[in-house]
């Protein structure tokens, strides 16, 4: 049986819906999402095997201007290296708004040889649909994209179309991964990301950007997984924000993260959370490596 397999990089500036698009195509949540820019911090592979083809998506951090801290530089490196040696690039933009950071992404994409599909996401927010065609023509003038597709990753509008289009670009190859594998990331990594997502959603604008999550214990015993997660911030005031009055916020974070973990791992989960202050971790290269922000993965 002939099979088609290839790597597809999903790139764009922060908060355009890259992770939402990948999760929608996969039919399950691998990459965390929130309204906060720069939610995704790592390259994450999402693997979809069906119809005699295997798409290996590379979800990436948003390419952004800020380079003031080591973590910002790490995320930009993770995003720009993802487009190297892939079979297709899917560049995602946010409806009717082109920014300097979109231009940064485009300049990165132009340096690659792979075909490029431009996805205009969040069209469900476009009130005047008559504006779509002129704007799509404007986008087409910025670069000879192989295809331009308007869609809504949130509602699923046109997502099936982009999935079929992606398959048409895959070269003939044997599968790179087992048919039942959905990601290259460990369960520990996915657990940490789910906790981080719930923190971002709970805190909104109060969120301390300098926050990360480290899994200190992940023990699978029969029908139960015991997980201990350390939430790391940079200042004592941030610790108080995460914990909340009488521990209310951290309790809600734990409840919501545990529900998603049980769905993802198909198992009961006992989750324990702690908050620790580690000054300046986000601008410390050694600390970043110890927390899994390692250039060796990119």
Residue-range domain boundaries for the chain: 4-168, 187-297
Neighbouring CB atoms inside 10 A of 41's CB total 20
Q: Which residues pair with 271 in a beta bridge?
A: 227
Binned at pLDDT 50, 70 and 90, residue 123 comes out as very high
Mean pLDDT of 146-158: 95
Query: Which of the 8 DSSP states describes residue 223?
Result: T
Based on its alpha-carbon atoms, the radius of gyration of the chain, rounded to whole angstroms, reads 20
Query: Which of the 8 DSSP states describes residue 154?
Result: T
CATH architecture of 187-297: 2-Layer Sandwich (3.30)
Neighbouring CB atoms inside 10 A of 101's CB total 19
Report pLDDT for 66: 57
Q: Which residues pair with 118 in a beta bridge?
A: 91, 148
Q: In the CATH hierarchy, which fold is given to the domain comprising 4-168? A: Rossmann fold (3.40.50)
Residues 6+ apart with CB under 8 A from 296: none
Of 59-63, 75-79, 190-194, the one with minimum mean pLDDT is 75-79
Report pLDDT for 295: 46
Report pLDDT for 29: 78
Contact 2, 174 (CB under 8 A): no
Alpha carbons 215 and 234: distance in angstroms, whole number? 18
Work out the angle at residue 33's Cα, subtended by the Cα atoms of residues 250 and 297, and round it to the nearest 5 degrees. 100
- Hey, which bits of the chain come out as E strands? 4-11, 44-50, 53-59, 88-94, 116-121, 147-150, 212-221, 224-233, 268-277
Give pTM, 2 decimals: 0.77
Binned at pLDDT 50, 70 and 90, residue 73 comes out as low
pLDDT exceeds cutoff 70 at 269? yes
Tokens at 218, concatenated: 């992940």
Alpha carbons 92 and 276: distance in angstroms, whole number? 36
Alpha carbons 197 and 66: distance in angstroms, whole number? 21
Of 74-83, 102-111, 214-223, 239-248, the one with minimum mean pLDDT is 74-83
**Which H helix or E strand runs over 113?**
none
**Selected residue with higher pLDDT from 185 and 298:** 185
pLDDT exceeds cutoff 50 at 297? no
Alpha carbons 61 and 43: distance in angstroms, whole number? 7
């Amino acid at each position: 049986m002939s099979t088609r397999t290839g790597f597809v990089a999903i790139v764009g500036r922060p908060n355009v819906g890259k992770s939402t698009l990948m999760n929608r195509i996969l039919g399950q949540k691998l990459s965390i999402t929130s309204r906060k820019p720069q939610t995704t911090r790592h390259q994450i592979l999402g693997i979809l095997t069906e119809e005699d083809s295997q798409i290996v998506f590379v979800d990436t951090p948003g390419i952004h201007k800020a380079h003031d801290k080591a973590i910002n530089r790490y995320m930009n490196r993770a995003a720009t290296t993802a487009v190297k040696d892939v079979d297709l690039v899917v560049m995602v933009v946010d409806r009717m708004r082109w920014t300097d950071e979109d231009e940064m992404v485009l300049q990165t994409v132009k340096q690659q040889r792979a075909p490029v599909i431009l996805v205009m996401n969040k069209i469900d927010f476009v009130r005047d649909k008559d504006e779509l065609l002129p704007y799509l023509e404007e986008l087409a003038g910025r670069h000879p994209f192989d295809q331009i597709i308007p869609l809504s990753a949130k509602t699923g509008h046109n997502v099936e179309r982009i999935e079929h289009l992606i398959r048409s670009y895959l070269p003939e190859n044997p599968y790179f991964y087992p048919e039942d594998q959905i990601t290259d990331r460990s369960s520990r990594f996915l657990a940490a990301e789910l906790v981080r997502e719930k923190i971002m959603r709970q805190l909104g604008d109060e969120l301390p950007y300098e926050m990360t999550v480290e899994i200190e214990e992940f023990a699978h015993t029969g029908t139960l997984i015991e997980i201990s997660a350390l939430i790391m911030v940079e200042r004592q005031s941030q610790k108080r924000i995460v914990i909340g009055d009488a521990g209310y916020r951290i309790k809600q974070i734990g409840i919501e993260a545990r529900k998603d973990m049980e769905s993802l791992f198909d198992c009961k989960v006992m989750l324990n959370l702690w908050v620790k202050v580690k000054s300046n971790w986000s601008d410390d290269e050694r600390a970043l490596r110890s927390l899994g922000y390692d250039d060796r993965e990119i």
